[in-house]
Amino acid sequence: MKINPYIFRNYDIRAKVPEDLDAAKAEAIGRAYGTFLRKRNIPVAVVGHDCRLSGPEFSQAYINGLVETGINVINIGMVMTQMAYCAQYYFKTRGGTMITASHNPANYNGFKMAVNYSETTLPDDVKEIKNTVETENFFAPREKGKIIQEDIKEKYAEDLLGRIKLSKKFKIIADFRHGTPGVFAPDILRRAGNEVIERRSDPDGSFPAGTPDPTDEKFMRELGREVVKAKADLGLAFDGDGDRVGIVDEQGNISWNDILVAIFAQEILEKTPGAKIVFNTLSSQIVPWVIKKNGGVPIMWLVGHSFIKEKIASSGAAFGGELSGHFFFKDGFYGHDDGVYAALRLLKYLEEKNKTLSEICESFPKYISSPEIKIGCPDDKKVEVIRTLAEKFKQDFPGGKITDARDIPGNDGARIDFEDGMMIFRYSQNGPYITVRFEAKDEEAYNKRKKYAREILEAYSEMIWQDELCVNLDALR
């Protein structure tokens, strides 16, 4: 089948609908993943989808592809991504797919495909599936698979509520921007004993209020205003498929998710001294500082949920997290990303410490940090743009500590650490855009880094400054 090769990302599939993905292609991808499973003697797969408008059609087509290869399918319908992981454990199968495009805009969809419990595809796995789609070398069974319908909602809720029990009642503003978690998260948070004020919890896959993305500063600042107005204890912002969460404190201030990585690292290290903690290259210098201060071992690694999960497993780390809001707990949990579990875990820590979120952060070093800034750049140009940009970047700052492909395999960009902050340029693994982030300890240095980032990016005609994938461009002005 002829298909845009760029929709096959390093760890999942993301594509524009209908330009690069339709029902026929979804069925072919289902047949390819079914072939992938048959080679690994995995006869059963769980399939779920989020609330995107194309979700039901693609789910049906994808399931048709799976059964054509003899895979038995457990269709769990519209769910959050972590509920698909939960279903794998409950139904005891290493096979599973979540049909979602996570934080991409409404006109995207895609596939997160499991290779094991809580583990998703890595680059070689995606290449194998891509090759099977292109060659149409699908497994031909003696008989087709069967489909059963199951509802995992209550099993998932019981699992989370059995792990974390709160004594304190928190007042929470939860904003979903019409994403899938609005169907499930409020009930769980209330059953945990909290007062929950919902915002935009009705699912609408057209995302009329904007993409549910907790890295979007406008989304988070809006939530912060609502927290202050309601005198709430904190605000929660969920992404479209529920595996990520963002936080604002009781004063309405944004706690970017690398700060949450630091908080969770501190919580874990208080109970497990010497533990390894994995974080991605977009994270603030606060993260390794907190890990070291609390006796842990910091491990910086590639951006991307599959890469972080794989590194946690291979290093034996107790926890890992990303600026995007993916948090992976291995102590008392499965190790996959779950925005609702992360929210409950944070509430439990605040209860144990009897402190507000802002009070927890008071002991951390103070930095001025930009959000993650995303600028459009075509898939066939972004790698070369970052390659040449990174070389100039490293030449311009010879005194900084460089982290690039020499330290972390993947070659998706370069980070430079200074005595008073950091700066990073990289290309996205799951969309046609480039990301940049910077921080400093004082405003003068911060503004210099901001000016440098803006000017070096403006020098590239390949950059698309008005694109649906652009996020937080105001932070460069």
Catalytic residues: 102
Q: In 3D, which of 240, 218, 221, 5 has the Cα closest to residue 107?
A: 240
Cβ contact 430:102 at 8 Å: yes
3-state helix, strand, coil split of the chain in percent (to 5) is: 40, 20, 40
Within 234-364, where are the H helices?
A: 257-271, 286-293, 305-315, 339-353, 357-361
- What gap in Å lies between CA 66 and CA 31, rounded to an integer? 5
- What gap in Å lies between CA 255 and CA 259, rounded to an integer? 6
- What gap in Å lies between CA 467 and CA 69, rounded to an integer? 39
CA 179 to chain centre: 14
75 contacts: CB under 8 Å, gap ≥ 6: 47, 48, 59, 63, 147, 148, 149, 150
Three-class SS state of 252? coil
Residues facing 435 on adjacent strands: 374, 426
- Report the chain's C-alpha Rg in angstroms: 21
